[in-house]
Amino acid sequence: MAIKFGIDGTGPMSNTTYAANFSNSHVKKICTGEGEYVRGPITPGGGLPEAIDAGLESIKAKRESEPESPILLTGFSRGGLGVVVIAKQLQRQDIPVRAMLLFDCVDRHLAYDASRIPTNVENVYHVRRDPAARSRMSFGNDGTKSSPPTVYNEKFFMCTHGSMGGTPWKPKPGQSSNEYINEGYGEAYISTGNAVRAVFYRTNITFAQDARVSQEVWRDVQPFARQHSFV
């Protein structure tokens, strides 16, 4: 039986609110059943070291009784960064990782460098938001570099960052599903660098498209997930 561990994306501090917001996330669905799942960090990044430690402890405990079981890691957003860090820690112990499934892994924590996948990871599939979507343009990506023998593949999707993880934006009362998504003034100002332009800033993604493409992402990862026993 595979040893499966996942860290989800950044969300609110309240565990109750977080659980509701991420109830249908891609990482959550992958880890339901035999895998172990932990929530992602809060917005400033707090909680990620604890999630990483939880993953390492879980893998260590399971390997004591299942030393030959393959290790499978999955993560969304900063959670993706977290599982890359876990893989790097395992590499120092000469422990292989059979496969890693990343959902728009982002470079959003000063304490960790996860730009490169360590070579103890055999197979990686990284699904990423297309830059043309203009979603979270201040978020750089991690987990995009690799070296042999790691087999790395990636694919881009026209949706928001949230949609990549299975948490697409939803219209508020009075909004149409055909409206373009506004990710907030803070993100808009970071992306444009101009207070006036930030007021009018929008992504290139409608609510309807975000919901549709999130499902496309889920369907797309199924062959990789089945091949490597994630599902």
User: Which pLDDT score is estimated for 46?
Assistant: 82
Q: Name the region of 44 (left: φ>0; alpha: ψ -120 to 50; beta: rest).
A: alpha
Say how far apart CA 143 and CA 17 lie, in whole Å: 28
Fold of 3-168+205-227: Rossmann fold (3.40.50)
Encode the chain (231 residues) as per-residue pLDDT tens digits.
Answer: 899 999 999 999 999 999 999 999 999 999 998 899 999 999 766 899 999 999 999 999 999 999 999 999 999 999 999 999 999 999 999 999 999 999 999 986 667 889 999 999 999 999 999 999 999 987 889 999 999 999 999 999 999 999 999 999 999 999 999 999 999 877 777 777 777 777 778 999 999 999 999 999 999 999 999 999 998
Query: Looking at 130-222, which runs of residues are DSSP E strands?
Result: 151-157
* Encoded tokens for 197: 């332009």
**Any idea where the domains of the chain sit in the sequence?**
3-168+205-227
pTM here is 0.94
